[in-house]
């Protein structure tokens, strides 16, 4: 009986560990160079700018959708996106996209890539 309980506990521990590894392995915060490389590997990258519409209008990455993190319908709009694609997300400096990443990390996207330092870091590169 003790052996059975031991193996059950061991199996549970292994399954929990592998789930954590899987969920964190498809989520990355990357710098400009790695961002460019990862985007170039996607046929139709799903780019999302989580800044306000006013910030978006002043400049954004080509092909980006604007889904404002501060709007009430943020989660609804994000969850309507194609989860079979890798989500590339950024904001101005990383604060909002970091919070968005935390909200979305368990929502079964193929992957989530956040631009470290945000659009302001991209512009200065």
Residue-range definition of the domain harbouring residue 81: 26-124
Is 37 within the bounds of a domain? yes
CATH number at 45 reads 3.40.250.10
As beta bridge partners, residue 115 has 30
State residue 122's pLDDT score. Answer: 82
State residue 98's pLDDT score. Answer: 94
Name the domain count of the chain.
1
Is 30 within the bounds of a domain? yes
Residues 35-59: what's their mean pLDDT?
94
Residue carrying structure tokens 């080509």: 62
Is 19 within the bounds of a domain? no
Q: Which of 61, 110, 115 is nearest to 90 (CA)?
A: 115
Instruction: Name every residue whose Cβ is closer than 8 Å to that of residue 22 and which is 6 or more positions away in sequence.
Output: none
Q: What is the mean pLDDT of the chain?
A: 84
The token pair at 1 is 């009986």
What does the DSSP assignment read for 23-38?
HHHTEEEE-HHHHHHH
Instruction: Name every residue whose Cβ is closer than 8 Å to that of residue 99 and which is 6 or more positions away in sequence.
Output: 69
> Model confidence over 72-83: pLDDT tens digits?
999 999 999 999
Residues 55-70: what's their mean pLDDT?
96
Tell me: pLDDT of 21 over 80. no
3 vs 114, more confident: 114
Is 114 within the bounds of a domain? yes
Instruction: Name every residue whose Cβ is closer than 8 Å to that of residue 49 and which is 6 or more positions away in sequence.
Output: 55, 56, 60, 61, 64, 65, 66, 67, 89, 90, 91, 119
Is 14 within the bounds of a domain? no
Q: Does the predicted model carry a pTM greater than 0.75?
A: yes
Is 74 within the bounds of a domain? yes
Tell me: pLDDT of 18 over 60. no
Is 57 within the bounds of a domain? yes
Is 68 within the bounds of a domain? yes
């Amino acid at each position: 009986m003790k052996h059975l309980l031991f193996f059950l506990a061991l199996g549970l521990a292994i399954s929990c560990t592998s789930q954590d590894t899987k969920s964190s392995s498809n989520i990355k915060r990357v710098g400009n160079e790695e961002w460019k490389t990862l985007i170039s590997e996607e046929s139709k990258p799903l780019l999302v700018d989580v800044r306000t519409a006013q910030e978006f209008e002043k400049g954004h990455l080509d092909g980006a959708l604007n889904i404002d993190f501060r709007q009430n319908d943020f989660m609804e709009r994000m969850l309507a996106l194609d989860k079979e694609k890798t989500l590339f997300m950024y904001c101005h400096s990383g604060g909002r996209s970091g919070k968005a990443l935390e909200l979305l990390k368990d929502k079964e996207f193929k992957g989530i890539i956040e631009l470290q330092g945000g659009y302001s870091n991209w512009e200065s590169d």
